[in-house]
Structure 1
């Protein structure tokens, strides 16, 4: 992918597009050019557990849990219930798709920035969503409301294999405060006033194991949940490597292959999503061959000085 970045830098967007032979490659040139033109250096934060496992890409039946396995770690997400005005509780299924990932990114980033597990869902969230290209209104608002409630209701279990057996951490992401209005108008209800309280255990894990990412990168891939997952995985893995490392296709399939029954079908889609993730991560050095995905030591997506500023 680095060759496209070099090409765009050398000859410009339009000439680089003219040299591509498919619409998909020309679309990648547009994304690469937009990324290279970015001036913002906004820092985002996610928990390292989400770099090794991930939410589902598509909706599951509301009563079905979700389990994924990463390198020495497993994630179980179970549906939960939230109170309904007038009495009773509603079952919410597991959060899924790109909107859930973007909401989680906002909650985690703001919690670290403010050093507080209480996160505002008002003007700050509105401005952030707008900056990320997610204008609130209509279907977007309904999607965000639904995924926010799913995040609030669900229960998480992270399990890991250790020398002395299996360890685990079981909790919720949210302890309370997030249950958005069902009104279609985002100016109605409590959407702009409420605050959400992250669970103490999740907040502590986030502080102990943060993964810095470049926010503008996610804006350019915000509708592709698979590329978001791959980008976060690369942001976590590449800068910590000391030598090239091959991740076999079997291991890649185990982590990212949910929804595919055959490895060969998965490989094609994964490579497409990988190309999009690499388009927004110019520093990433990654090769693909018949054995798997070769990861090379690479600079992090955010300059080290920006990461250092976060922890002053």
Structure 2
């Protein structure tokens, strides 16, 4: 695979519209047409927020052994997550419940970060607000999805983390958590329709919240919805949303560097490239402004407009958003 990724799909949608464009591509690319069309048709411009550190590192995609620590290296930053413990009723000792993983954990974290920055408070109201937001992301409350959401919420609430930054402008902490209190699902019942599946609020960890406020990265809510079930594509979209609009010139990224940041459990670089390319296509489809080329040596990233208009990104941040701690050149 080489050349600019999904530029053809984007152009087809713009010129011919969704229905006609879907007849002009291979069957396996029709989902990319749908993603691009949804994002291009978005007139509301609602946004989500994440912390800079999550643009360069990420949670695991699959479940790890409950007692296993997670460590992920990115460019000048390392994320370490220690699993928490819960003592069940009647148990003699607490047991590990594992680190958060997968797309659902990412969506819960995105909601908490978005609301905290939007309201300027580390106390995030839940109830109907969170229920409605996750509903817009296509995450239903019943059956296996609801069970998975409750499990990931518990993992998030009990784990401990640290972002370790390199360099003189290091920004991180020795040990902290995603949340200080709250974030517990109730099993539900008669009052489900009233949005009472949740405690009233979550209080984010103070140090994490302060870092989030200083380094927020804006994301397009419609894009998040399109990628809500694709954890690898979601990570790549978040990375590109942070990376591309800060560039001043075309920048190559070698496959070996991409494998270090995004690879996991791939025995060969060729195997990683195949999986990476499959995950990258939906991410770029959800970011129509992105200009990315793929070649034998890796990716070539071009300066691209942010997926979110600058006028929408004030949100009370104490410093200009999307500028990490000395990682990329400012524009």
- TM-score bracket for this pair, using the shorter chain length: over 0.9
1:142 and 2:144 aligned: no
| Candidates 190, 213, 224, aligned match of 1:218 | 224
Contact 2:179/2:205, CA 8 A, preserved across alignment: yes
Cα 1:166/1:276, change in 2 over 3 Å: closer
Residue in 1 aligned with 2:70? 66
Cα 1:176/1:272, change in 2 over 3 Å: same
User: Shift of the alpha carbon at 1:186?
Assistant: 8.0
Contact 1:77/1:154, CA 8 A, preserved across alignment: yes
Structure 1 residues not aligned, in runs of 5+: none
Residue in 1 aligned with 2:178? 173
Contact 2:38/2:222, CA 8 A, preserved across alignment: no
Q: Deviations over 1:221-268 (max 9, x none)?
A: 110000000000001111111111111111100000012121110101
Aligned length: 311
User: Shift of the alpha carbon at 1:89?
Assistant: 3.7
| Candidates 47, 54, 64, aligned match of 1:50 | 54
User: Shift of the alpha carbon at 1:138?
Assistant: 1.5
Cα 1:93/1:231, change in 2 over 3 Å: same
User: Shift of the alpha carbon at 1:178?
Assistant: 2.0
Instruction: Give the 4+ runs in structure 1 shifted more than 3 A.
Output: 82-90, 163-169, 182-186, 308-312
Q: Partners in 2 of 1:139 and 1:166 — Cα distance?
A: 38
User: Shift of the alpha carbon at 1:14?
Assistant: 2.5
Which structure has more strand as a fraction of its residues?
Answer: 1
Q: CA RMSD in A?
A: 2.3
1:306 and 2:276 aligned: no
Q: Partners in 2 of 1:165 and 1:244 — Cα distance?
A: 26
1:277 and 2:318 aligned: no
The two structures have a TM-score, normalised by structure 2, of: 0.88
Larger relative contact order (Cα-Cα within 8 Å, sequence gap ≥ 6):
2
User: Secondary structure of the equivalent of 2:164?
Assistant: strand
Contact 2:173/2:207, CA 8 A, preserved across alignment: no
Aligned counterparts, 1:149-298, within 5 A: 149-162=154-167, 169-182=174-187, 187=192, 191-298=197-304
Cα 1:262/1:186, change in 2 over 3 Å: farther
Q: Partners in 1 of 2:136 and 2:304 — Cα distance?
A: 27
Residue in 1 aligned with 2:23? 18
Contact 1:248/1:291, CA 8 A, preserved across alignment: yes
Q: Deviations over 1:264-292 (max 9, x none)?
A: 10101111111100101011111111111
Q: Deviations over 1:123-157 (max 9, x none)?
A: 11011111212122221111111001000111102
Structure 2 residues not aligned, in runs of 5+: 1-5, 319-331
Aligned counterparts, 1:77-156, within 5 A: 77-82=81-86, 84=88, 89-156=94-161
User: Secondary structure of the equivalent of 1:299?
Assistant: coil
